[in-house]
Amino acid sequence: MIAAYLAAAALGSSAPARSILFVGNSFTFGAMSDVMTYRKDSVSDLNSDGMGGVPALFKRFADESGIRYQVSLETAAGQTLAWHLANKAAVIDRPWDAVVLQQYSTLSPDKPGDATDTIPAVRGLMDLLRKRNPQVSVSLVATWTRPDLTYPPGKPWSGQPVTRMALDLRKADDRVRAAVPSVARVVPVGQAFNCAISRRIADPDPYDAPTPGEVDLWASDHYHASNYGYYLEALTIFAAVTHVDPRALGPTEQAARDLKISPATALQLQRVAFSVVQAGGCGRRGIVARLRSSRHGHGHN
């Protein structure tokens, strides 16, 4: 039995690495955090911008889990998927095993929450990718609520619970997938943020005084993510794409240590990623009460 196990392990280690490409913007390359240049030499930045970002976290998790991946990213700040299709098709046009697509933070820059322009962009990218590899597995990331569009007055989600934008984006991305069924999955990153808030792991309002014992998922602009937020994003994508239980990474996970995320918080965030991806929801009562108690629209400037 031991010999058979060793033979199987040797066979697995000799299998060719799967290729995965991340296409997106600052939410993928980890702007305004230590994640941006994290282990940048472990991944291939196709634009030569020197980014590590969420793809490098994914690579770290894969290595720790004994899964071989060659990880690449093609990212540009503030750009939509339509921009990537129009300007970076030659870079993207390779036979990838898997691709992760991240749209602009509001889907449409001009009509926040509107997926109308996302559908043809995703369809065009799918056509490009499937010509190279008909079996490519493509994931679409549903991103998080932006507090800067929720708490100050006069913004698209002003007066709504801090979780609402993420839920609206998820519904819109589901419509994209319905229109482009060759997309394998929608990755619920925004819902992972919501779950961390409901479990009192994360503070729902980055504008007020920090809640003791709770982390801030957002950067100082209340728009991009913090180390905690990008770590949770990477965990959620990793769980969705690989089907590996992120809890197996454990409290001593190396990227968390490098980013100065405590073992207890790392484990909590791993559990959140598991819940939203593999357990079908947040998996804990009390979310409604938590959301009702969170502040919305208090005239922050």
Residue range 257-271, pLDDT digits in tens:
999 999 999 999 999
Cβ atoms of residues 116 and 173 within 8 Å: no
Closest CA to 259 of 54, 70, 77, 49: 54
Q: What share of the chain is helix, strand, coil (3-state, %, to 5)?
A: 45, 10, 40
- Whole-model pTM? 0.91
Cβ atoms of residues 203 and 193 within 8 Å: no
Higher pLDDT, 215 or 279: 215
What local confidence, expressed as pLDDT, does residue 4 receive? 41
Cβ atoms of residues 72 and 28 within 8 Å: no
Cβ atoms of residues 59 and 69 within 8 Å: yes
The span from the CA of 266 to the CA of 272, in Å, is 10
Give me the residues paired with residue 71 across strands.
20
pLDDT band at 14 (very low <50, low <70, confident <90, very high): low
* For residue 236, pLDDT beyond 80: yes
Burial class (CB in 10 A: 0-12, 13-18, 19+), 247: middle
Give me the residues paired with residue 70 across strands.
19
- Predicted confidence (pLDDT) per residue in 155-206, tens digit: 999 999 999 999 999 999 999 999 999 999 999 999 999 999 999 999 999 9
- CATH architecture designation of domain 16-293: 3-Layer(aba) Sandwich (3.40)
Both tokens assigned to 232:
């949770």
Domain boundaries, the chain: 16-293
